[in-house]
Structure 1
Amino acid sequence: MEVFYYMVFGILGVVVAATELSKSNKDRINTSSTFNGFKNNYLFVYSLMMAGDWLQGPYVYYLYSTYGYGKGDIGQLFIAGFGSSMLFGTIVGSLADKQGRKRACVTYCITYILSCITKHSPQYKILMLGRILGGIATSLLFSAFESWLVAEHNKRGFEQQWLSITFSKAIFLGNGVVAILAGLLGNTLVDALALGPVAPFDAASCFLTIGMFVILFTWTENYGDPSENKDLLTQFRGAAVAIASDEKIALLGAIQSLFEGSMYTFVFLWTPALSPNEEDIPHGFIFATFMLSSMFGSSLASRLMARQAPRVESYMQIVFAVSAASLLLPIVTSFLVAPTKEKGGSISFAGCIQLLGFCAFEACVGLFWPSIMKMRSQYIPEEARSTIMNFFRIPLNIFVCIVLYNVDAFPMTVMFGMCSIFLFVACLLQRRLMAIADKPKTEDWVAMKERGSEAEPLNI
């Protein structure tokens, strides 16, 4: 079965290379040299930030286990991280709108570096503090940087369509190339050089430190709404009102929570799904294959967003439908393929089918990130961008905490079925978003016409 892994990885590699190299002028957007310099600076910083994040991911659970903690204790540490992201991350995100997005990005670096330092201690309380700091940092990673980019892009007067280039390249590099390289670097530090499971966290601190200095010396500050001195409660209330009063923002938040909730659940489930009988599977190689699939998705997204048609709101319906179908494969194979009770060995035939489905899901993940970023840049108001984006993460973090707490309570087929239902609902909500995307323009035109007719008698 080892040939199967290499075959899937090789085919995906060829597809990604062909997709990138075959881009025509229709698939590219002409930009200026000034914008390219701005874009490359952001991509360099974002890649460093993602390197700091990806280096840690594969070794968090392993590090805790080497300190002698069991599954229950480790689960509580993970729950603390997501809970921290839900509670404190929202506050920090609101401060980013008020105190400045550049400061928030620097805060991300400092917070995550401190979280990495705590990994040197085997004491549970210190590790818990590290998870709390890591949860805060994660919220900033997925809100402050994007908020700074959108505000700075608009402030410098660049074309709105050029944002899609930065979004797609950021995902292609940060969630693809950097993820694969970080996995290889982490494997070298831990296995080849035998530096121990803390080494990737130290390497992450180095990348975060470099990125922090680049931010300090090359980025300018921007704010959400500097004209008003609002307290946090007022910001929360304004963000809640914006979500409640604009159906497009509410739909976008629901779609994001449903997809990301399914994605994080998939992260916990893919290993036991592919090795239900403790089959010997190459976790690192499969992870690299998933990242290659994500690269294909982001490359495809850059092509789609460079064209006028189909619109993002339109093709994302297909993305959610495909992702829902791909996570149904574990359920389908459980009925069609007779399960084996033999322990160990290589991946089963059912596992091979599921792996292909999981690669399709990861390709959808690669399509999702730049596309949702573009829709957020269109629909979320600038003055409360970070606050609203962290509001979107509240239901996501609640859902992930519940899944983590009850991960052993339900069969995997039930968990995958739940994720598939969530993704199908996201498809329906995306269809609704597509339907109302042009409504405000029509309503504004009607309102302007009515106001104009009302004003005519006053001019007589």
Structure 2
Amino acid sequence: MTAFYESQLVILVAASVVFFVVEKYFLRKTSSQGSSAERNAPPSVVSGLSRRYLFVYTIIMGADWLQGPYIYSVYREQHGLPERSVALLFVLGFLTAGVAAPFVGVWADQYGRKRIGMLFCLTYSATCTLIQFHVLPLLFAGRLLGGFSTAILLSVPESWLVASANSLSFSSRDLSTILGRAALASSITATVAGVVSNKLVERTALFSSTFIASGALLLLGLVSIGMIWSENRGAVTSERTEVLDWRRVSEAWGIVRADKRLLVLGLTQTIFEGSLYLFVFLWVPFLQGSKPSTGTRTHALPLGYIFSCFMISMTLGSIIYTSIISLSRLDSSASFNDAGPSASLSDSVAPESEVHHPTADSHNDHRSSATSARRSRSNPSHSAHDRAITLHAKLSSAVCAASALALLVSVVDVREHERFWAFCTFEACAGIYYPVQGMLRGRLISDEHRATMSSLFRVPLNIFVTVSLLTGVSSARRFVLSACAGLLLCSAVVTATVLVRSTRGVPLASLRAS
């Protein structure tokens, strides 16, 4: 059994190398010939920010990935907890992340993303320590800290990167490239982490040994953030130092309500990432309960190698994304500051009488499109802005549809190897999804409320995961994955009919709520 998964890992690694070489030395070279004439930021500046971000991002994601293959096994097998208790621990983590999300976003915008990033390393290290003890209150405390840390991890690093890129006038292509590389680096790191975690468990016979290694990486991440990241934060709108600035939260929510494209972004994030988090809880028991494709199962599944296969599949997805960006030949001269959400009000927003509101009739669509067309002719950067959003909206819709199909196959086909490959396909879709979603957020959400709004999107996400886990997944695994597939199909349709069609509209994300 181990031999099968080792061979699949070798095949996936070889495929990733081939795709990477083709993208780097053929597609990217061809694309750069038609778009390198003009840049907003010097290549040295772009590469410098890319190195600083990716170095830290790789360390902290490596720490997170080391925990991935065996977090279920630590609770279920090492500590001997019933599956219902394991589900409650997962629920506590997601619920804490949902409650903490608005606080984390506001704190990051107010007090600085670098400072909150360092706080993440400390709290996540404490999580790795507490999970070592077979004491239920300490395990619950660890999940509380883990949920809080997750809320930071999934919003603050990206906010730091996008704000830094905006301040340096990066082009759409430059930011897309860094986001694609981040997804690639995360996937490669996760692949290595899966193999390392498998070896650690084999040597120590303790599932929790992977958390010790994770804690060591987090301490390295703490030092790295302190030394190489500069501080940035959202625009300061108040001198108050409240624990939670409700005015900022209210402004962010008003912006989301005013722009239906942001509502679609939030819907997609809730459904896709919610499905992914449920998958994290379900993939181990789902594969363990499958029918062996050949012979009978005589040994435990090599979870570390399987996890590495999933992560290298995500690597393939990120390479596919960067290849699509290279082939699309997005205008590298269109920076965020030219046409993005942080653009000036006079440049990026039509007169109030011409703004398309969600409650307006279809006639406003034509007026908004005409306004956008006039802007595009007078300023080519707006045309590039529209094309970038349209491309990523189409990719978002396609990824949701493909993910739904993969989950449906895993539910219908009970054979182990077929389920394994369906899960690999789902992970490949995740490799495309993260840079796509990051780019859309970067184009549509203003710097002032970036972390706050990203955290607001996580509130319904964590509610969705919490409710799903509380339904009793041990007896309803097939139903949960089937429901996720149905919701992903709905998200694909909504994105195609709303976000793609609305990309010619005005970027209302730069407006503040009145």
TM-score interval (norm. to shorter)? 0.7 to 0.9
| 1:181 is the counterpart of 2:192 | yes
Offset at residue 27 of structure 1 (A): 5.1
| 1:407 is the counterpart of 2:479 | no
| 1:380 is the counterpart of 2:445 | yes
SS at match of 1:128: helix
Please tell me the residue identity of whatever aligns with 2:310: F
Query: Which residue number corresponds to residue 447 of structure 1?
Result: none
Deviation by residue 1:169-221 (Cα, 9 ceiling, x = unmatched): 111111x11112112222232322x1733332222121111111111122111
In the TM superposition, what are the counterparts of 1:241-280 in structure 2 within 5 Å? 241-276=254-289, 279=297, 280=299
Please tell me the residue identity of whatever aligns with 1:352: H
Query: Which residue number corresponds to residue 19 of structure 2?
Result: 19
- Between the aligned partners of 1:60 and 1:274, the Cα distance in structure 2 is 16
Against the structure 1 CA distance between its residues 153 and 234, is the aligned structure 2 distance closer, same or farther, given a 3 Å change threshold?
Answer: same
Counterpart selection for 1:425 from 490, 493, 510: 490
| 1:354 is the counterpart of 2:419 | yes
Against the structure 1 CA distance between its residues 35 and 183, is the aligned structure 2 distance closer, same or farther, given a 3 Å change threshold?
Answer: same
Query: Which residue number corresponds to residue 225 of structure 1?
Result: 235
| 1:320 is the counterpart of 2:404 | no
In the TM superposition, what are the counterparts of 1:6-155 in structure 2 within 5 Å? 6-23=6-23, 24=26, 25-26=29-30, 32-65=43-76, 66-155=78-167
Please tell me the residue identity of whatever aligns with 1:199: S
Query: Are 1:258 and 1:423, in contact at CA under 8 Å, matched by a contact in 2?
Result: yes
Percent identity, aligned pairs only, is 31
Deviation by residue 1:386-441 (Cα, 9 ceiling, x = unmatched): 11111111111111112212234754332222111111011012111010011117
- Between the aligned partners of 1:332 and 1:63, the Cα distance in structure 2 is 29
- Between the aligned partners of 1:124 and 1:293, the Cα distance in structure 2 is 35
Please tell me the residue identity of whatever aligns with 1:196: L
Please tell me the residue identity of whatever aligns with 1:18: V
Deviation by residue 1:293-341 (Cα, 9 ceiling, x = unmatched): 110000111121232478111233222211111111134336xxxxxxx
SS at match of 2:500: helix
Query: Which residue number corresponds to residue 202 of structure 2?
Result: 191
Deviation by residue 1:16-59 (Cα, 9 ceiling, x = unmatched): 11111012213568661221122012101000001111112223
- Between the aligned partners of 1:112 and 1:408, the Cα distance in structure 2 is 26
Query: Which residue number corresponds to residue 210 of structure 1?
Result: 220
SS at match of 1:145: helix
- Between the aligned partners of 1:187 and 1:4, the Cα distance in structure 2 is 15
Offset at residue 4 of structure 1 (A): 4.8
Query: Are 2:473 and 2:480, in contact at CA under 8 Å, matched by a contact in 1?
Result: no
Please tell me the residue identity of whatever aligns with 1:358: F
Counterpart selection for 1:394 from 459, 463, 469: 459
SS at match of 2:126: helix
- Between the aligned partners of 2:302 and 2:225, the Cα distance in structure 1 is 37
Please tell me the residue identity of whatever aligns with 2:261: K
Counterpart selection for 1:284 from 304, 307, 311: 304
SS at match of 1:55: helix
Offset at residue 6 of structure 1 (A): 4.6
| 1:333 is the counterpart of 2:417 | no
- Between the aligned partners of 2:233 and 2:173, the Cα distance in structure 1 is 22
Against the structure 1 CA distance between its residues 242 and 410, is the aligned structure 2 distance closer, same or farther, given a 3 Å change threshold?
Answer: farther
Please tell me the residue identity of whatever aligns with 2:398: I
| 1:438 is the counterpart of 2:504 | yes
Deviation by residue 1:94-114 (Cα, 9 ceiling, x = unmatched): 111111111111111111112
Against the structure 1 CA distance between its residues 74 and 48, is the aligned structure 2 distance closer, same or farther, given a 3 Å change threshold?
Answer: same
Gap runs ≥5 in structure 1: 335-349, 445-460
Please tell me the residue identity of whatever aligns with 1:127: L
- How many residue pairs are counted as aligned between the two chains? 426
Offset at residue 259 of structure 1 (A): 0.8
Query: Which residue number corresponds to residue 295 of structure 1?
Result: 315
- Between the aligned partners of 1:104 and 1:257, the Cα distance in structure 2 is 23
Against the structure 1 CA distance between its residues 352 and 51, is the aligned structure 2 distance closer, same or farther, given a 3 Å change threshold?
Answer: same
Query: Are 2:105 and 2:452, in contact at CA under 8 Å, matched by a contact in 1?
Result: yes
Against the structure 1 CA distance between its residues 243 and 291, is the aligned structure 2 distance closer, same or farther, given a 3 Å change threshold?
Answer: same
Gap runs ≥5 in structure 2: 37-41, 292-296, 331-389
Deviation by residue 1:332-360 (Cα, 9 ceiling, x = unmatched): 336xxxxxxxxxxxxxxx33222222221
Offset at residue 119 of structure 1 (A): 2.1
Please tell me the residue identity of whatever aligns with 1:45: V
Query: Are 2:310 and 2:427, in contact at CA under 8 Å, matched by a contact in 1?
Result: yes
Query: Are 1:119 and 1:127, in contact at CA under 8 Å, matched by a contact in 2?
Result: yes
Offset at residue 7 of structure 1 (A): 4.7
Pairwise CA RMSD: 2.3
Against the structure 1 CA distance between its residues 429 and 5, is the aligned structure 2 distance closer, same or farther, given a 3 Å change threshold?
Answer: same
- Between the aligned partners of 1:370 and 1:282, the Cα distance in structure 2 is 29
- Between the aligned partners of 1:417 and 1:202, the Cα distance in structure 2 is 36
Please tell me the residue identity of whatever aligns with 1:328: L
Please tell me the residue identity of whatever aligns with 1:258: I
Offset at residue 3 of structure 1 (A): 6.0
- Between the aligned partners of 2:479 and 2:92, the Cα distance in structure 1 is 25
Query: Are 1:55 and 1:203, in contact at CA under 8 Å, matched by a contact in 2?
Result: yes
- Between the aligned partners of 1:227 and 1:283, the Cα distance in structure 2 is 49
Query: Are 2:198 and 2:303, in contact at CA under 8 Å, matched by a contact in 1?
Result: no
